[in-house]
Amino acid sequence: MKVLVIGGDGYCGWATALHLSNRGHQVGILDSLVRRHWDNELQISTLTPIAPIQQRIQRWKDLTGKSIDLFIGDICNYDFLLKSVLQFQPDAIVHFGEQRSAPFSMIDREHAVLTQSNNVIGNLNILYAIKENFPDCHLVKLGTMGEYGTPNIDIEEGYITIEHNGRKDTLPYPKQPGSFYHLSKVHDSHNIHFACKVWGLRATDLNQGVVYGVLTEETGMDELLINRLDYDGVYGTALNRFCIQAAVGHPLTVYGSGGQTRAFLDIRDTVRCVELALEKPANAGEFRVFNQFTEMFNVGDLANQVKKAASTLGLQVEVQNIENPRIEKEEHYFNAKNTNLLDLGLQPHLLSDSLLDSLLNFATKYKHRADLNEIMPRVKWK
* Binding string, residues 126-165; x marks residues near ligand NAD by CB under 6 A: ----------------x-x---------------------
Q: How far apart are CA 318 and CA 373, in angstroms?
A: 18
Query: Residue from 12, 129, 215, 341 that binds ligand NAD (CB under 6 A)?
Result: 12
Query: Contact 359/214 with Cβ under 8 angstroms?
Result: yes
β 138-144/2-6 pair status: unpaired
Task: In angstroms, give the least distance from the CB of 126 to ligand USQ.
Answer: 18
Question: Residue 159 catalytic?
Answer: no
Using the 8-state DSSP alphabet, how is residue 155 labeled? B
Beta bridge partners of 69: 28
Q: 28 contacts which partner out of ligand USQ, ligand NAD, none, CB within 5 to 8 A by kind?
A: none
Q: Should residue 306 be labelled a site residue for ligand USQ when binding is judged by CB under 6 A?
A: no
Q: How far apart are CA 196 and CA 167, in angstroms?
A: 25
Q: 255 contacts which partner out of ligand USQ, ligand NAD, none, CB within 5 to 8 A by kind?
A: ligand USQ
Task: In angstroms, give the least distance from the CB of 308 to ligand NAD.
Answer: 23
Residues in region 15-34 near ligand NAD by CB under 6 A: 31-34
Q: How far apart are CA 63 and CA 31, in angstroms?
A: 22
Q: Should residue 326 be labelled a site residue for ligand USQ when binding is judged by CB under 6 A?
A: yes
Task: Spell 340-354 as b/e; 16+ CB within 10 A means b.
Answer: bbeeeebebbebeeb
Q: Which among 32-40, 139-147, 333-341, 366-374 is the span making contact with ligand USQ, rule CB under 6 A? A: 139-147
Q: Should residue 10 be labelled a site residue for ligand NAD when binding is judged by CB under 6 A?
A: yes
Q: How far apart are CA 261 and CA 329, in angstroms?
A: 9
Question: Residue 46 catalytic?
Answer: no
Q: How far apart are CA 12 and CA 240, in angstroms?
A: 14
* Binding string, residues 169-198; x marks residues near ligand USQ by CB under 6 A: -------------x----------------
Cβ closer to ligand NAD: 9 or 330? 9
Cβ closer to ligand NAD: 99 or 179? 99
Beta bridge partners of 141: 95, 205
Q: How far apart are CA 30 and CA 27, in angstroms?
A: 10
Interface residues with ligand USQ (CB under 6 A)? 100-102, 144-146, 182, 209-210, 237-238, 241, 253-255, 260, 262-263, 299, 326, 328
